[in-house]
Amino acid sequence: MDKTKEVEKKSLNIKDVTICDATAQMLKKAEKDGVETAFHRAATMKACPIGADSACCKHCSMGPCRLNSKDPYGRVGVCGATVDTIQARNFARMVASGAAAHTDHGMSMLDLFREVVSGKIKDYTIKDPIKLEEVAKEIGIETEGRELKEIAMALYEELERTYTQVDGEIPFAQRVPEKTLETWRKHGVVPRGAMREIMELMHRTHMGVDQHYENITKQCSRTALADGWGGSMVATEISDILYGTPTPVRTEVNMGCLKEDHVNIIIHGHEPNLFESMLDSVNDPSLIQAAKDAGAAGINLVGMCCSGAEMLSRHGIPHAGNFMSTEAILVTGAVDAMGVDVQCIKQGLAKVAECYDTKLFTTNPRCHIEGVEHIEFREHTPRACTDAIVENAIVRFKNRKMPIEIPNIRNMGIHGFSHEYINYMLGGTFRASYTPLNDNIINGRIRGVAGVVGCTNPRVKQDYVHVELVKDLIKNDVLVVQTGCSQIALAKAGLYTPEAAHLAGAGLREVCETVGMPPVLGLGSCVDNSRILIACAEMVRVGGLGDSIADLPVAGAAPEWMSEKAISIGHYFVASGVYTVFGVTFPIIEETKFHKYLFGGLEEQGFGKWGFTPDPHEMAQMMIAHIDKKRKALGIDKARERVLMDMAEIWRIGKNWKPPKAHYGLSCMEEGKSAPPLFFPWRESNKSPERCGEKITPPGHCKIAEGA
């Protein structure tokens, strides 16, 4: 055996690649079984240093051209392209690809909505008609005196412009704060339609077209904004309308949610339609009986990655782990079937599934995997696919041959926050508003708000950067909102319980204990980053924190990012006015003109700016420094002396407290009408498929049950 092979056979130092105990346990088992995962491949495959710095161009056959990142202006490409042009083109193509992924997802949701409204699809219905009307009103659709179906079709026709329009402004531009929109108009970056923007950006990056990094970045901004305020936002809003707007639910994450005596089915991907139909299939009495006839106690449905995060938020379906755990969970031997749709699906799943005799199925026409059986999911007849997956899983359970090892680790937490529920939670039934949030930022109890989102990446220790960053932020009174794989990392670390408030600074802790909320709020999947945009716009609308998103004491981070979608997300936050810091690596050469423009020049024009560091503690300090800079600019850097209410007094009252007939929210604390900690309502998660889909009253209409 040569030395290269010997290196490849070396075992991982598992404590260096993950802080997730369940994943670590399965990696040890994988090595014992001779099974390779992405962790192993990353350890034996060094990242290309030239590509990592974006110092190469392969956009035409005169190249590929390779520049020297240590002497970036020492040479140019064969065509004469400078390092700034090359970097900007590469960055732009990442934005285009990421935006296309979210936009295609959103357009699929909108197509489904049209078919449901027209009555051509019967398996789905409108679950949140209140939100449908509210969204319609926001973008100027008349609702008074009209039937729901008529409003819905008008909404479809208006939102379709998000994708197909070639001129004008996308519908949700009406949600953007006026001063932010003025900045966009001044610099020519208001999105017209997603198809137009992505197409133009790809054209500009073709050899011999746009050769000025600032002009390329301008179209990057326009395209990314078409994602955040367009494709992603449509995906989120239509999903809420069709499947219900999330409200808090107490449920579990981690691999311990698998059950050895059940048929275990995992759905992994990003579009909710497959998962929603799978929920119907696992609740079908005939399929449950078939599972029992095969010797199983029942059917256990579990999510992973972003579609799992949506179902976690909406229905309390247990979540088994984030992106870097999707191979490791198959090593348990307990997964009878895994169905995947689109995005973040490793081709390596096929080999691991084969090793452990797990039935792996692709379901989406966009995503086939060589050697993996494909069962097409069609929204007009969805059960044909989902029932087939369940039936195959039952057969696999009956014929299990592999030894089962399930990590006995489950982490309970509260998930399912949405813009609507945060609005209700803070302001109450009668005064739903972000005013209490803004007031507590102004008085200094909450320093600011941070969005910590994004992927996990085997180039850094799984979950570590997410967890350390968020701990530092909340310790410094920064309220954290999350989406995607980052959300699962923090849930596994126990930060999704109200009790985690003890890790927060005194001000944030007081607010969390008063409301009874965790210091970290999970908002759903990666397309649900649009909920953070809506929250930022609402903070501006409520007042007291400036006139533009760029004025707000907020910051964003994707500490373990890996996908092109993350670059698009990061850039639509930057273009919206938010300072956004990435970890792991960044595709740029420092101190080049393009680097200075992204990391400073954009902010000078009224946008946000990019930041980078792989260190979580430095990242936290960078974000906190930015938040403090914004507080100083607003004149709120010195906290006013305001006390919500002495916490000992709250606890004293709480001993004999009876819930009011309606929820008064955090705002009541200013008037002394306090409620004790842990008073906002949440659902308990489903403990079996029969309990899936448990409902509570929609946000804004919620009552606290007597004696709760």
Residue holding tokens 């009878």? 336
pLDDT digits (tens, 9 = 90+) for 227-281: 999 999 999 999 999 999 999 999 999 999 999 999 999 999 999 999 999 999 9
Is 202 in the same domain as 254? no
Query: In this structure, are 128 and 218 located in the same domain?
Result: yes
Same domain, 474 and 576: yes
CATH of the domain at 601: 3.40.50.2030
On the question of pLDDT at 442 being above 80, the answer is: yes
Q: How confident is the model at residue 432 (pLDDT cuts 50, 70, 90)?
A: confident
d(CA 492, CA 252): 9
Q: Are residues 485 and 584 in the same domain?
A: yes
- Phi/psi region, residue 490 (left: phi>0; alpha: psi -120 to 50; beta: rest), is alpha
Contact indicator for 315, 279 with CB cutoff of 8 Å: yes
Domain count, the chain: 3
Q: For 504-544, write each residue's pLDDT tens digit.
A: 999 999 999 988 899 999 999 999 999 999 999 999 999 99
- Helix spans in 356-463 (H): 383-398, 419-427, 435-442
In a domain, residue 114? The reply is yes
Which tens digit of pLDDT belongs to each residue from 24-73? 999 999 999 999 999 999 999 999 999 999 999 999 999 999 999 999 99
- Distance CA(210)–CA(252), nearest Å, equals 49
Mean pLDDT, to the nearest integer, of 646-664? 39
For residue 491, give its domain range.
446-634
Residues 460, 559: one domain? yes
Count other C-beta atoms under 10 Å from residue 166's C-beta. Answer: 10
283 and 221 belong to one structural domain: no
Share the mean pLDDT of the chain.
Answer: 90
For residues 253 and 150, membership in a common domain is answered with no
Single residue among 591, 615, 634 that ends a domain in this structure = 634
> Residues 466, 565: one domain?
yes
Residue 570 covered by a domain: yes
Pairing of strands 263-269, 249-253: unpaired
Q: At 129, which CATH number?
A: 1.20.1270.30
- Same structural domain, 237 and 256: no
Query: Residues 279-335: pLDDT tens digits?
Result: 999 999 999 999 999 999 999 999 999 999 999 999 999 999 999 999 999 999 999
Position 176 pLDDT exceeds 50: yes
Report the DSSP pairing between strands 337-340 and 359-362: parallel
d(CA 246, CA 522): 10
- Beta-strand relationship, 65-66 and 56-57: antiparallel
645 falls within a domain: no
The model's pTM is: 0.91
Q: What is the pLDDT of residue 433?
A: 85
- Residues 6+ away with beta carbon under 8 Å from 458: 17, 38, 39, 41, 42, 43, 324
Q: Is 258 within 8 Å of 320 (Cβ atoms)?
A: yes
Do 316 and 341 fall within a single domain?
A: yes
Q: Are residues 231 and 259 in the same domain?
A: no
Range with the poorest average pLDDT among 152-156, 175-179, 413-417, 641-645: 641-645
What gap in Å lies between CA 187 and CA 165, rounded to an integer? 20
Give the whole-angstrom CA distance, residue 495 versus residue 266: 24
